[in-house]
Every structure is written in C-alpha cells, then in structure tokens.
Amino acid sequence: MKKPRISGLYAITPDLSNTGELLKKTQQVLAGGAQLVQYRNKTADDALRREQAGLLLQLCRKYQVPLIINDHIELAVALDADGVHVGRNDMSISDARKQLGQNKIVGASCYNHLELALQAQALGSDYAAFGAFFPSTTKTDTVPVPASLIGQAKQKITIPLVGIGGIRLTNAAAVIQSGCDAIAVCNDLFATENTAAQAEQYVRLFAAHRSM
C-alpha cells in the first residue's frame, strides 16, 4: 500500500477481548469512511494481540486503509503492518523508522508540547498527535491542549497534525477548525450502536470544513 498523507477520521480500537466484536465494529468504522485505523489494546496478552492485529490487518487491506500498531513495533514488523504509533516512553521515532523503513507510517504522541512535535518532524515522523483536547475515557492520565497550540504548530510544522483525546461529534468540529488534519476517535465510535453511521457523520464534518 502506498503511504498516504494522514487526514480525516483516525479510528483507534478500544480494549476488546472479544475479537469478533472488534472486527465487526472496525468493519463498520471502515465502511463509514475512516481513513486510518490504529490497533491499541493495553489489556491483551501477546497471543491475543497478534491474533487481533493480524485479522484487523486483513480487514483494513480490503478497504485499502492503513493499520497502525500502537507501541508494539515488533508486532508491526512481524505482520508487515502499515505503521506504528509511539509515545514518549516507547521506542524512539528514529529507531522505529530504521526497523520499518521509509514506506511505512511512523506517528508520534506529542501531548501538549510543540517542541516534541518539532523533534518528531526532524526525526522523520509522518504525523504529530496533540492531546488531550478534552477529558478522555480511554486514557485518564492526559494533559490538556490549549486552543492556541495547533495554530502555533501550523506555523512551524509541515507534517500532518492529529487531534486526540475525548473527541466526540459534539466537539469534533472545533478540533478540525483549529487546524488538525485528522482526528483520532475511540469511544465515540466503538461504543455507539450504529458505528458506520457515526463514522459517516465524522467524515461529513471534514467535508463541510473543506468546503468552507
């Protein structure tokens, strides 16, 4: 798969042990128009994580949507997944790039620090993720992002910016309008009954913003 520029709805999977439910929900997210999927499961053991990631990769390939693995670069390499997302305490961006090569996606959490985003860009990251924009049920130890940060980042950073943290349909437009190229959503996608319809509404927000 050709490496895309990061934009649009970026779906992040929740900690689901039921692989069938995970696949069903992710299929709906993809049908609704998600442009990226990140496999993130902090509670699974290695065997379940490998099983789920492998099946998700097959599903994402059908939709020609990249599957990003959170943290576990060895899993991304083993499966030939489309990329990896690293945090401050994970493998360095440069080491991830060395292991994955130039044709894979490497994304980085930059929290609320512009300096981290500048470093990420210099080290070859494909996007910088800022968050949390709002209180998050997925990750409780987050730091708040001031509204002005994205505007500041846009003046100095050319790689795509991803907004994350507590994003819901009721507040997503503000994150997109702040200048984020993509928004990462977990709970407000996967915890809804009609996941495809929910994803479609996010996609419409991006379409409306681009037409302004």
Catalytic residue positions, numbered: 40, 109, 139
Q: Which two tokens stand for residue 27?
A: 């299929």
Tokens of 48: 């379940």
Sign of CA dihedral 7, 12, 142, 205: positive
36-39 and 8-12 strand pairing: parallel
Q: Give the chain's radius of gyration (CA, Å).
A: 16
Amino acid, single-letter form, for residue 143? V
Cβ atoms of 195 and 32 within 8 Å: the answer is yes
Cβ 16 vs Cβ 48: under 8 Å = no
